[in-house]
Amino acid sequence: MRTDVTPMLAERTDLAIPVPYLVFIGDIQNPTDAKTGYGLVEWRRDWCAAQWRLPGCPVDLGLPELAPTAAHAAGARTLVIGVAPAGGRIPEHWMPALLEALRAGLNLAAGLHDRLANYPELVTAARASGVRLFDARQAPPGLVLPVGSGARRSGRRVLTVGTDCAIGKKYTALALERELRGRGVAADFRATGQTGVLISGGGLAIDAVVSDFVAGTVEMLSPAADLAHWDVIEGQGSLFHPAYAGVSLGLLHGAQADAIVLCHDTRRHCIDGYDNFPMPSVEECIALNLRLGALTQPAIQCVGISLNTQGMSAAQRQQACAELAERTGLPVTDPIAMGVQPIVDRLLQRCN
């Protein structure tokens, strides 16, 4: 049985957000910024009633298009901001749209660094309509976060890491959990980002934690467990990212992962949004994660590569995976298009 030391994180009762959702993506231009919306559609499609876009937005989640009043009439109960832009800020010109949703009777949920509760106009509108504001990036009230101990704990852990941000770490972790459970292996997805928290109803956005407590928070998220139990920990950022490497390192140390799965996209040449920083090679990224992860788990190993092949043909996908597998000697697959069976095979062979 799991050691129940984190009940406030295992199931976030403070985030019992009414469904279904109207997913708001504003007027963003880059599909990468809509990873929260895409994640909800991929993993919680039955929770997503419609999308709402402002004029000039080319990004499309593939949902019906409804404005707040029509969405509420159709049964939607919460407007979820499906965008995770750099810095996690709410653009000022979105405020009228958010107020419109509240006045239409929709709750409002977001996973941004900007707290909805810090906007008096949103608080007033929510109160007037009898609805609620949900800040998914914030820790549950009253939770005390520890510093990392580095002490070994029972149970098994696999962490998804990446060569860049928004490259498939969450999708890979959810796919690994699903595959492990499908084989009868005890496994839990441990969310460390706002989208993962919204999808799973548990976890904590690790990039909202004060740096001194990142490793300790991950230890709380993945406490001692049965020897055969697997925690599948969602990775964040990249050790090669000039802005977010610190989050990735704290997560790596707190996870004490027995195994890592590297997430990569062969078509990216630079870190997203940082043209002066070239993408690392998969070999370079694996080696650095193993070297730094060995501080808290000396036996850490890489068991596979998750390749983002969205937009490729089936033939292109197969070729890209085969070439990378031959180069690295690791199983390579796209978790959405091809599943993660080969990676889980290697994980259970090497880490049991």
Residue 3: pLDDT band (50, 70, 90) is very low
Say what the pTM is. 0.89
pLDDT at 86: 63
**What's the whole-number mean pLDDT along residues 138-159?**
91
Read off the pLDDT of residues 240-265 as tens digits, 9 standing for 90 and up. 999 999 999 999 999 999 999 999 99
**Angle subtended at Cα 10 by Cα 307 and Cα 207, rounded to the nearest 5 degrees:** 55
Across all residues in the chain, what is the average pLDDT?
A: 93
Domains and their CATH numbers in the chain: 9-135 (3.40.50.720), 156-351 (3.40.50.300)
What region, left, alpha or beta, does residue 250 occupy, with left being phi > 0 and alpha being psi -120 to 50 degrees?
A: alpha
Read off the pLDDT of residues 290-341 as tens digits, 9 standing for 90 and up. 999 999 999 999 999 999 998 899 999 999 999 999 999 999 999 999 999 9
Tokens (6 digits) for 64: 């019906």
Closest CA to 25 of 86, 115, 98, 76: 98
pLDDT at 1: 36
Contact 49, 21 (CB under 8 A): yes
Q: What is the number of other CB atoms lying within 10 angstroms of the CB of residue 3?
A: 12
What region, left, alpha or beta, does residue 60 occupy, with left being phi > 0 and alpha being psi -120 to 50 degrees?
A: beta
